[in-house]
Amino acid sequence: MEPSKAEALSPTVGIAVIALAAGALPLVTRDSYYLDVATTILMNLTLTMSFRLQVSTGQINMAHISFMGIGAYASALLVTRLGWSFWATLWIGALVAALLAVPIGSVALRVSGPYYFLITFAFSEVVRLFFNNFFEGLFGGPSGLVGIPKPGRLLGLTFDGKLALYWLMAVLCVIVVVTLVRLDYSRFGLTAGAIRQADLVVETLGVNVFRFKLTTFVLGSFVAGLAGVFFAHYRQVLHSSDFGLEPMVLLVVFTVIGGTGSVWGPVVGTILMTIASELLRELHHYEILVFGAVLILTMLFAPEGLVALPGAARRLLRRLRGRAAEPAGVGLAP
């Protein structure tokens, strides 16, 4: 019964650690650089957690970053062109991303393997080219969309400084983490894992696999759109390249290196790789090359991701202790 108790406590403990770490940082430092890095980590974590939700059913959606872009552009346009409040577009932008995910997912999820990969990749490129080449007066074209305001006042609080924006992203991230972790440890998560391993078997048990995959696709896109809205008003400028192939590859690297088999994999991968990205800022042109090498090494020596290394180390120690405890004469002829 002990393993089950530990497993039941792990979601609460993990969520508490993330919430405490996010709350403790401003007590340690209020340096704008460190707050910016921490805000980026939380934003990336929100995105990788939503991407991992889709991967949990066995599908790698190469258009996930595009739904972040859709949410970002939707909110930015509603605020700058129509004068809407950020606090309304925060959810409207995410909803627009989710609504567009319905027809895209309905088409892409009817195939699998390389066909699914190609359809989502093609959609990602279509979205990037659309933002870059069409309606330049609206989307900004190659120059980008500039002049995006920061979030307005809410309940007497202003969100124009690094610290206030960090707290906003921390609250959004904790909400997302709590929701997705609870889903992963529920029947929903068990069904997703079963579909990833044997979707045909799950179909015979009465589960509508297509509808389930579409649900995870849309929910993940909604969270990606939410992260995109914050990104737009935090950076205050949008370029189509922000949602192209390179950031999508980094998203995959963050998630896979951490480990897709556990809901905590993206947490480990995002924190470590975002910090590594900052350390490699001077080598920006070689960043993808370095991350690619790290990804290859991870797949060779830790295929389950970095989050599985402690468990692998414990198993190895148990085997070594078991061998050491064997009697010296075992296996020798009398």
pLDDT in tens, 305-317: 777 777 766 776 7
Domains in the chain: boundaries: 2-242, 244-322
Residue 9 confidence (pLDDT) above 50: no
> What whole-number distance in Å separates Cα of residue 65 and Cα of residue 81?
24
Residue 3 confidence (pLDDT) above 50: no
Residue 76, both tokens: 């930015």
290-to-18, 59, 259, 305 alpha-carbon distances in Å: 27, 25, 18, 17
3-state secondary structure of 157: strand
Residue 77 confidence (pLDDT) above 90: yes
**For the residues 233-259, what does the mean pLDDT come to?**
87
> What whole-number distance in Å separates Cα of residue 215 and Cα of residue 176?
16
252-to-40, 143, 239 alpha-carbon distances in Å: 16, 27, 20
Residues forming a β-bridge with 279: none
Question: What's phi and psi for 333, nearest 5 deg?
Answer: -70, 140
> What whole-number distance in Å separates Cα of residue 225 and Cα of residue 66?
9
pLDDT averaged over every residue in the chain: 84
Confidence of residue 88 (pLDDT cuts 50, 70, 90): very high
**Residue ranges of the alpha helices (H) in 56-113?**
64-82, 86-108
Q: E strands within the chain?
A: 145-146, 237-238
258 CB contacts (<8 Å, ≥6 apart)? 48, 264, 265, 266, 267, 268, 269, 270, 272, 305, 306, 307
| pTM, entire model | 0.87
Residue 332 confidence (pLDDT) above 80: no
At residue 264, the pLDDT reads: 84
Closest CA to 41 of 274, 289, 220: 274
> What whole-number distance in Å separates Cα of residue 129 and Cα of residue 141?
9
202-to-205, 207, 209 alpha-carbon distances in Å: 5, 6, 7
CB 51 within 8 A of CB 101: no
Within 10 A of 123 (CB to CB), how many other CB atoms are there? 19
Residues forming a β-bridge with 238: 145
Give the position of tokens 């406590």. 9
At residue 272, the pLDDT reads: 86
Confidence of residue 327 (pLDDT cuts 50, 70, 90): low
The amino acid that residue 37 corresponds to is V
3-state secondary structure of 85: coil
At residue 317, the pLDDT reads: 75
At residue 138, the pLDDT reads: 84
User: Which of 107-116, 210-219, 275-284: highest mean pLDDT?
Assistant: 210-219
At residue 281, the pLDDT reads: 76
The amino acid that residue 112 corresponds to is S
286 CB contacts (<8 Å, ≥6 apart)? 280
At residue 326, the pLDDT reads: 61
Confidence of residue 6 (pLDDT cuts 50, 70, 90): very low
- The angle subtended at Cα 260 by Cα 259 and Cα 263, nearest 5°, is 95
As a whole number of Å, the CA-based R_g of the chain is 22
**For the residues 38-45, what does the mean pLDDT come to?**
92
3-state secondary structure of 145: strand
User: What is the pairing mode between strands 237-238 and 145-146?
Assistant: antiparallel
